[in-house]
Chains A and B, each alone.
Chain A
Amino acid sequence: MIGKQGILGDVLDLSYLIAGAIIILVVASLALTSGINDSNHKSLVELGDFKRVDSAIANIKVLTAGGEQIDPSQVEDLIKRSKVFAGRTITSCFDYRNEEDCNTNPVRVGSSKAGIYACRWHDGLCLAPV
């Protein structure tokens, strides 16, 4: 026959067991979830960078086809300085599609005179200053 004390001891053991299991499950779940989220985030960042570089290459092709003289040694630098702005990859002034963005030049592409980066809007196109 199990006495009252024995039953109480078993109930305490069971609740201790359940509490311990919950703690372990929460810790394991947190650890795995954050790890997976981190992995997803890194994948998206790398994929975003792939897309940026790919678009920058396409932008440079358009520039050269338009008669812009680019030295092959400039290619890596142009790609590195390309940034995504409002969903578009901006490699040169030519990639801005509206006057406001062109004149403010948030990505700071284009010629630099005394450290000032500027693009100018002319006849529906964004051009680098001469």
Chain B
Amino acid sequence: MNKKGLVIHLVLLGLLVGIGSFILLSGTLDVETDIKGKWQLDFLTKNYQEAEKQLLKNEILIKQAGVEVAWQLVENGGYAPGTESSCGKAEEAQVWFKEGKWCFKGIATLVPEMVSEKLTTSIPGNTYSDITFSGPFLTGKGGKGVISREKATYIFDTSFTVYLGYSFDEYQRLQEEGLRLLASCVGKEELKQCLDMAKLDYWKYGSCEQEEFSDSSIVPFCIASPQLAYLPTSEGQKLVTYAIALDFSSS
């Protein structure tokens, strides 16, 4: 064998021995390669999806806050807990109208205030503004959420629209129905007869379970939700009922 042949032999031998050693030492023939689109996948799972989870948790907390506010208002005749109508109360029902004066101010500003107050404690990291309601939806503007990790930052909007399954607009409807009732029956001597004719079926005297007409000019009512709205409680879903009172004396 000439010198050139010897070199070729040795080089080939060396290569084969090298490959054999590599396989023996590493225990596999596989060449480790990084997964395709690793950065993109990491961004999706560790940034985007984390943000989606955070938004979902926030949505649940906002819905809880909305439902709590709805119950608090319902339980206190459309007034914030611990407050009372300027017309006073009649048999635990808030008086909305007395001696020619409409005392109920509505809940348009109350709901955003109460929801906002609850959100500052349940979602302390975020600040929300312009909280409003429209039909069964509660909406609000949130700040920017940021999820950062090495080489990737995801910025997302934390504004929300949450479906409550209950409309705060029911108060507006109750006010209109109450005003119609007052227009028909204020000052009437045969008050019960007038109310029986004018009131809607879901307006019950005194209690929703056992109707009882109190012989007084200030009549307490129990009103079942006009849209038959049910809201969750710790004991399951419960029909919303309002307790209010109206004064039918002629002022």
Contact = CB atoms under 8 A, between A and B. Distances in A.
Interface of A: 9-10, 13, 16-17, 20, 23-24, 27, 30-32, 34-36, 38-40, 42-43, 46-47, 49-50, 53-54, 57, 60-61, 64-65, 67, 69-72, 75-76, 79
Given A39-B36, A43-B37, A72-B57, A53 B45 contact: yes
Nearest to A39: B33
Contact of A17 (B12, B31, B61): B12
Contacts of B165: 67
Main SS class of interface, B: helix
Given A39-B36, A57-B53, A64-B63, A50 B44 contact: yes
B60 A34 contact: no
Nearest to B35: A42
Contact of B31 (A9, A35, A42): A35
B31 A75 contact: no
B34 interface: yes
B232 A69 contact: yes
Interface string B4-17: 01001100100110
Contacts of B32: 35
Contacts of B53: 57, 75-76, 79
Interface string B52-63: 110011011101
A23 B16 contact: yes
A46 B45 contact: yes
B122 to A, nearest CB: 9
Interface of B: 1, 5, 8-9, 12, 15-16, 19, 23, 29-37, 41, 44-45, 49, 52-53, 56-57, 59-61, 63, 163, 165, 230, 232, 237
B237 A67 contact: yes
Given A24-B19, A64-B59, A67-B232, 7 more contacts: A13-B5, A16-B9, A20-B16, A23-B16, A39-B36, A46-B41, A71-B60
A57 B56 contact: yes
A88 B60 CA distance: 24
B225 to A, nearest CB: 15
A32 B16 contact: no
A35 B30 CA distance: 5
